[in-house]
Amino acid sequence: MSDAPTTAPGGILFDPQDHELLRIVNDVLARGHGSSWKRLLAPYLHPHGIKELSASKGLRIAYAVIHLLGSLERGKAEDRLAALRGLRDEVLSAPESALRINTARVLVQIMKELVRAKGHSRRQLELAHDFRRAVTGKPLVIRAELAKHHLLEMPEEWNQMCFDDHVHDANTKGRKSPTHLVMDAWIKGIRKLTVVTYNHIQPDAAQELLEAAVIMNISARVGVEFRARHQGRFAKLLWTPRGFTDCDEFLDFLRKPAMREFCEQGRQVSLYQQRYVWSVLDKYNRELRLRIGREYGVDLPELTHEGFAAHVGAGQPSTYHLGHFIGQRIDKARGESARERADAVGLPEEVDAESIVDRWLQPSANPDIENTFAPIENAEAPELLSLTARELCERIASLHVNNWITLDLSGLTVQDVLFLLYDCRGAITHLEIFNLRTHERGAQADLAAILELQEIINSANPVRFKKFVRRAMDELEQEDTPRSREAHARMADILDQISIFLAFYRRRTLRVRIGTDSTGQSGRRHGMGLVVTETLPTRARRALGRRGHQLRKPLPLFLEVTPQTVCTPRRANGAAGAFLRLLRGVFPGCGPGHEARRSWIKGGCSLAPDGKGNVFTLGGVRAHPPASQLEAAPARKGPGFSWTYMNSHLKNGLKVLLGFIPAALTFALTKDWWVLAWLGPFIWFGITGLRNIIQSVLGGGGLWRSPLLRWNNYVSWDRLADSLLFTGFSVPLLDYLVKTLLLERGFGVTTATDPFTLYAVMGLINGLYLSGHNLLRGLPRAAVYGNFFRSVLSIPLAVLFNAVAGNILGAYGVAAVNDVLQKWAAIISKLASDCVAGVIEGLADRAANMALRRRDLREKFRQVYETYALLEVLYPQEDMLELLESPETIIETLSYEHRDLDKIVIVNALDFMHFWMYQPRARTVMRQMLAAMSQDERKAFLLSQYVLRREKEISLLLVNGLLGRQFSRALAFYLNNAQTYLDDIQALASKP
């Protein structure tokens, strides 16, 4: 059931742009994965290039997210990877801000929620409004959205120690495709990830995972879980092959005959173990569905093998899948909302898949079914299930040399760990010291004893090792059972081989791994991701301390981390490069002229004394029903009022009015001259408004901006409204409290007695006020300090303005000049401060725009030269510069022999044209970059732009859907401006 109708465009709540964004998102959702917008995800289309004229950023992000949220079977892996690559490019191309990466994380998360809220117009409008606010990158907005969506702020250096050594995707028992999993890991802030599969590796799944991880700059590994025989039961070993330079090398390893044979044997193990699942499904149809139905008060239908297989999808059928499938059928049979179900007396409130598994589907609950997960003697059991841990490690070592083998500690005692480490002769490299899922189920091993054993082994101290083993032997003697006597004898053998045992880990220490074992299926358990608190920003650490007990769980572990700083020299050409070299000579070490990169080194792991260590979960227990339950939620009775979702124009107007009232009252009540009494607030606001507009225009290009852009395209009206709001409250502060009460009446300081002290005190107070509201707005500390010192710098300028004004008034014979100047002192101080601010903040805006343009153009130049290099390889007998001089020839050749290349060449030129004509400061940066190029590079770039002369071919490509259906703006832009752009570029490239 959808929400009640919300405010129409132009009302008090929401903006017309919110409704428009929602319309295009729902249009993409309705068209599905076959939408023509797919073409906008092509990697050669730059986010700030020509496709901006075809579709908005919101639509492009929406389509990429929609494409990723589908099931594993919907679409191909290549399509999902293309969508992920496009999504990354879109969100990371947001305006330069202090929280660029965090802004990108928020944008993806909001769009995910917006897509999942389909059919709930009020919720979708709220999310659309949140999305548009977040695009601005304002720190206060981004931090509020991070908190709203339960995301921790991550350092912009992206150096946090965020990891998960044990997760599952849809190819085992998880819910998400590898691409979807990587996207969610990046949103959470995870930098290192191990995705675990069972018994074998699927090459296509591994390829998708590793390529997606490269796209999102995540270190991902594939782990394979095996079961090995150990004292009449199975021990779990996790194999992670290492030492591959890239995804292709790993795939080559999987294609080796020995590895293919090993994976096939592993696949047979999976099929054998799945026999139990299918047997439980048959038993469910015979009797369990009746018992479960009585428990939940519903009549449950039988489940078909085909329906269950469709539910599992590409994964490996498990009892967890079956429990989740049964839970869905219970929900469907009830047909009630969560609140109505809770009111049903005597019935469980919620359907939990894990409780269904534990109570009815586990082997212990079904002794009449052969347990294929236990080490029983069965002639049909695959060979791999008969191997001991040592034999399994030897098989793995014969396949690959560089391996990590992790021992899963679930169900093991410290004696088991000791025996397995000894039996495997150092092949076990890691201990999965903590598994969150196992811990929450109450089956975690004895951490204290095992961590002590690990520390002793790594210390290579035979005395401590002997004492540890002797203590364990004494405990076994007290048990006095056949099993304990056998273990005692084995420990005695280990004591005889102390030096050999410790030699196993002399060159390679025994390390730990920590994972959540997350599947993404359960909202009742903490999800994927763990983080070490010391590596987070201060605000994130405070958030964990304030509410971590409610949302995120501290693990009882303390992980030692040590900061490491790497300094690299900054590089530049010409005079800037010479200046940087001079700085490096004057300030050796990591001083000016160097770029510092901080990272963290992981140390040892120990138990936290109070049970709450420095490792926290990133995921929390779901506090709200999932999107699938929103259909049952009651509709809202009305839109209600919300300042957050108020129409932006109305909100900005109220901000200006709220700031104008104290300014107007101050001037009206304290000034007896009508000019200041009535016009004072307008003069004050005029100074602030004009300064914001001028600095925005100058920062974006000023007099040399593109003729296609008007001056107001550069102005942020939200920022202007915020400035006017806070500047209004500075009037009673500066003019009345500081100038009149404190200085004039308190100390007798006026423009006549001591103008320097007057303006110095006002400037300092103004600086403190500016810094204070900058902190309140969540601006970066650099902006806070800059606004304080800008007021300090304005002091001599204010004194100068005061002297000039006094001379002018005196020259015109105005009586009582000092009295006039005293009345205007606050405005003079304000004018001086805003003049300094206009220069400083204008330069800051210019630097931000130029940094963004450099990033855009550097990427685009890289694509141009990569294409040029590819053409050289494809046509080794041709002179490519001569070929590029003839656009007709090159287009005809490429369209006939390499059809995609002709599109890439054309799009590259169109993107550069769009940069030149539309993007702030693109012309300045292009001039600088072309000046730094060699003659050959400049010529190659210029000739590559000549393809824009092929008007017919380019027009046809645009009409045929190169940029989707909305091609009219892009086509008109090209036809109207191509020749002007070519003339400008040719003139620029010809300069020495």
Over residues 447-463, the pLDDT tens digits come to: 889 999 999 999 999 99
Give the integer Cα–Cα distance in Å for 654 and 649: 9
Position 738 scores a pLDDT of 92
- Find out whether 213 and 179 touch, Cβ atoms under 8 Å: no
Name the average pLDDT for the chain. Answer: 84
Position 240 scores a pLDDT of 96
Position 631 scores a pLDDT of 40
Position 238 scores a pLDDT of 97
> What is the chain's length?
992
Q: What is the largest CA-CA distance in the chain?
A: 116
Give the integer Cα–Cα distance in Å for 287 and 306: 20
Position 96 scores a pLDDT of 64
Position 205 scores a pLDDT of 93
Give the integer Cα–Cα distance in Å for 296 and 349: 9
Per cent of the chain over pLDDT 70 is 86
Greater pLDDT, 778 or 744? 744
pLDDT band, residue 10 (cuts 50/70/90): low
Position 477 scores a pLDDT of 86
Indicate if the pLDDT at residue 236 is higher than 90. Answer: yes
Position 625 scores a pLDDT of 45
Position 427 scores a pLDDT of 95
Task: List beta partners, residue 220.
Answer: 193
Position 637 scores a pLDDT of 43
Position 673 scores a pLDDT of 84
User: pLDDT tens, 40-59?
Assistant: 777 888 888 888 888 777 77
User: pLDDT tens, 521-557?
Assistant: 665 677 899 999 999 998 899 888 875 445 788 899 9
Give me the residue spans of the domains in the chain. Answer: 1-149, 517-623, 664-847, 875-989
Average pLDDT over residues 242-260: 94
| Lowest model confidence (mean pLDDT) among 407-411, 485-489, 842-846 | 842-846
- Token pair of 406, please? 């992790």
Position 447 scores a pLDDT of 86
- Token pair of 67, please? 């494409």
User: pLDDT tens, 851-861?
Assistant: 888 988 998 99
Which residues are CB-contacts of 572 (< 8 A; sequence separation ≥ 6)? 580
Give the integer Cα–Cα distance in Å for 92 and 107: 10
- Find out whether 864 and 985 touch, Cβ atoms under 8 Å: no
pLDDT band, residue 701 (cuts 50/70/90): low
Average pLDDT over residues 674-685: 89
Rg (CA), the chain: 34
Greater pLDDT, 164 or 699? 164
Position 594 scores a pLDDT of 67
Q: What is the DSSP letter of 743?
A: I
Indicate if the pLDDT at residue 4 is higher than 90. Answer: no
Indicate if the pLDDT at residue 346 is higher than 60. Answer: no
Give the integer Cα–Cα distance in Å for 451 and 556: 12
| Lowest model confidence (mean pLDDT) among 38-52, 317-331, 633-647 | 633-647
Angle 648-670/674-700 helices, nearest 10 degrees? 140
Q: What is the DSSP letter of 752?
A: T
Average pLDDT over residues 172-201: 93
User: pLDDT tens, 101-120?
Assistant: 999 999 999 988 988 888 88
Position 895 scores a pLDDT of 65
Greater pLDDT, 523 or 366? 366
pTM, rounded to two decimals: 0.87
Position 867 scores a pLDDT of 82
3-class secondary structure, 408: strand
Position 186 scores a pLDDT of 95
User: pLDDT tens, 468-488?
Assistant: 999 989 888 888 788 888 888
Average pLDDT over residues 554-583: 77
